[in-house]
Amino acid sequence: MATSEDAPLEFAATCEDSFYFLDTECASCTAPLVEDSFRKSNQSPKTVWIQSMDQKFLVLKTSEKFEFENRTVDDQEQSDCKFGIQIYQDSRTDRGQPVMLYACTNGQKMMVSCKNNKEVFPEPMVSMHRVVHDNSLERINETGHKALFQWNCISTGKYKFESTMYSGHFLAFEPSEDKPCLHKLILRQAPKDEVDEPTVIGVKSCSLE
């Protein structure tokens, strides 16, 4: 195949419902196209407790909010404070390991999802869009996603979760305006290479049951 100027073209790839061809005589076009995407790992999800630095537990409230609160040993066994961490693989190699966080309530998985670059809210997995394989979340063809975070270990059991959609914004906790004794989960802008205490999240393995 050739252009109107007889420059040879060669089929390269499909991306976002479009077909792409390379000009084989153009040196700058010889690199292969890379589609940004996230693929669900074959690893089984990890079940964990998520805690703030003052040892409060992240809880999915019936009011459909994420809050940090104190939990007794017995209360720690409730499903509302146990979270799944699903590992994903990134087509890009210059970023951290992407993960999806979710809790189960009434038999439904509710993801930690970014509403904007500040607010975080629970979102049902079944409402996800722009995915393939019958909405199974096996592959997400986007450069960033509101429910995917890059987690990076900064010390034993301590992590930072950076949004893949809002670069430089991390999951963090801050006091609730109406109940200062409670802390809510938010997105917070912070330096990537510095320890910003509200963005340091404790992760501890626990049993699902």
pLDDT tens digits for range 97-137: 899 999 988 888 999 999 999 999 999 887 444 433 334 57
**Structure pTM?**
0.75
CA angle at 175 for the pair 73 and 116, rounded to the nearest 5°: 110
Best CA proximity match to 21, nearest among 31, 29, 8, 11:
11
- pLDDT for the residue numbered 128: 47
- pLDDT for the residue numbered 169: 96
- pLDDT for the residue numbered 102: 94
Q: Report, as an integer, the average pLDDT of 168-191.
A: 86
Q: Report, as an integer, the average pLDDT of 180-197.
A: 86
Answer for the pair 37, 98: CB distance below 8 angstroms, yes or no.
no
Answer for the pair 67, 184: CB distance below 8 angstroms, yes or no.
yes
